[in-house]
Amino acid sequence: MGFRQDHLLGIEPLAPDEIQEILDLADDYVALSRSDDKHSDALAGLTQINMFFENSTRTQASFELAGKRLGADVMNMSLAASSIKKGETLIDTAMTLNAMRPDLLVVRHPHSGAVDLLAQKVNCAVLNAGDGQHEHPTQALLDALTIRRKKGRLHRLSIAICGDIAHSRVARSNLILLGKMENRIRLVGPPTLIPAGMADLGCEVYEDMAEGLRDVDVVMMLRLQKERMDGGFIPSEREYYHLYGLDAEKLAHAKEDAIVMHPGPMNRGVEIDGALADDINRSVIQEQVEMGVSVRMAAMDLLARNLKRRRQAA
């Protein structure tokens, strides 16, 4: 049936075959990115604008590199520091950018739903690079690609998502994606950081790391989102590390070949032990960064094909 989306606003609207299609194309782009000539002309002639209303290091760099490898003209705008501070509304900013005729708009925004709103106002393909606590679809796709390549499949795996589930768009997008692919998902963390009702969504919820990690194939750690917390969600970072920080001892409860993931940026010594994060026999954190570029190349390529089709038909 093929990839049918006009935008990539979340994982929610994607069907399993569309997810597989992005990952299959991303595999090709991993091979291209590992070769000496990393260029393709899939986005030649197209303009990509990256609008980041919230700070980002790896996601912005990854989208920029992805666009450049595919031959797009890429422009970065860090709006956290510019017009938004002068009181321009999101829609004004969108209309201004729209007049510059972009083909791909990559947007990160602190408010859930802001990227969807923008997508309704512009004439190009929009990619959500993280909106509030809502979704971060390319992160879930790059995590899926990493898991598929490491485990040889993306279904019937036992996956523990651990830590600050409540504030994490990464957890949300991953839950949706891994659920669509029929995996067994466990959420592990203190009750203050796990939203109520998660068990009704088919996840198993654990308060204890040793129990939650028992025999899992994948351990996905999350950053403690301090900037999104306005009260006492945890007693202290020291105590949190003691109970929920992933170290070799806690990891020993998982399967012997379980992989360790983290979306970055990491709080070493808070949610994960620094030595374990750097252990290339267990941690796939660097692979996740590598897969990020290829997944974003694939997503932009597929969206650009649909955009060109729509424009030709108009």
Length of the chain: 314
Indicate whether 223 belongs to the interface with ligand ASP (CB under 6 A): yes
Residue 225 Cβ vs ligand ASP, minimum distance, rounded to whole Å: 6
Indicate whether 172 belongs to the interface with ligand ASP (CB under 6 A): no
Residue 79 Cβ vs ligand ASP, minimum distance, rounded to whole Å: 16
d(CA 272, CA 314): 51
- How far, CA to CA in Å, does 207 sit from each of 44, 163, 254? 50, 10, 16
Contact string (CB under 6 A) for ligand ASP, positions 258-277, x = contact:
-----xx-------------
Measured from the CB atom, the residue of 42 and 144 that comes closer to ligand ASP is 144
Query: b/e map of 31-70 (b: 16 or more CB within 10 Å)?
Result: eebeeeeeebebbeebbbbbbbbbebeebbebbbbbbbbb
Q: What tokens does 238 get?
A: 């020291």
d(CA 217, CA 52): 34
Q: Which of 114, 142, 165, 170 binds ligand ASP (CB under 6 A)?
A: 170
220 in helix, strand or coil? strand
d(CA 84, CA 88): 5
- How far, CA to CA in Å, does 161 sit from each of 7, 257, 274? 27, 17, 19
Residue 248 Cβ vs ligand ASP, minimum distance, rounded to whole Å: 23
Site for ligand ASP in 131-150 (CB under 6 A): 136
Nearest of 202, 197, 148, 193 to residue 175 by alpha carbon? 202
d(CA 187, CA 212): 7
CB 53 within 8 Å of CB 84: yes
* Residue with the shortest CB distance to ligand ASP: 223
Measured from the CB atom, the residue of 11 and 42 that comes closer to ligand ASP is 11
Site for ligand ASP in 55-114 (CB under 6 A): none
* 277 CB-side CA count, 13 A: 18
Q: Which of 67, 130, 163, 245 binds ligand ASP (CB under 6 A)?
A: 130
Q: Which of 134, 148, 169, 250 binds ligand ASP (CB under 6 A)?
A: 169
Number of residues that bind ligand ASP (CB under 6 A): 7
Residue 66 Cβ vs ligand ASP, minimum distance, rounded to whole Å: 16
Measured from the CB atom, the residue of 46 and 60 that comes closer to ligand ASP is 60
Measured from the CB atom, the residue of 22 and 222 that comes closer to ligand ASP is 222
User: Which amino acid, 28?
Assistant: D
Measured from the CB atom, the residue of 54 and 273 that comes closer to ligand ASP is 54
Measured from the CB atom, the residue of 169 and 253 that comes closer to ligand ASP is 169
Residue 136 Cβ vs ligand ASP, minimum distance, rounded to whole Å: 5
Indicate whether 297 belongs to the interface with ligand ASP (CB under 6 A): no
**C-beta neighbour count of 81 within 10 angstroms:** 11
Site for ligand ASP in 224-263 (CB under 6 A): 263
Residue 157 Cβ vs ligand ASP, minimum distance, rounded to whole Å: 21
- Contact residues toward ligand ASP (CB under 6 A) are 130, 136, 169-170, 223, 263-264
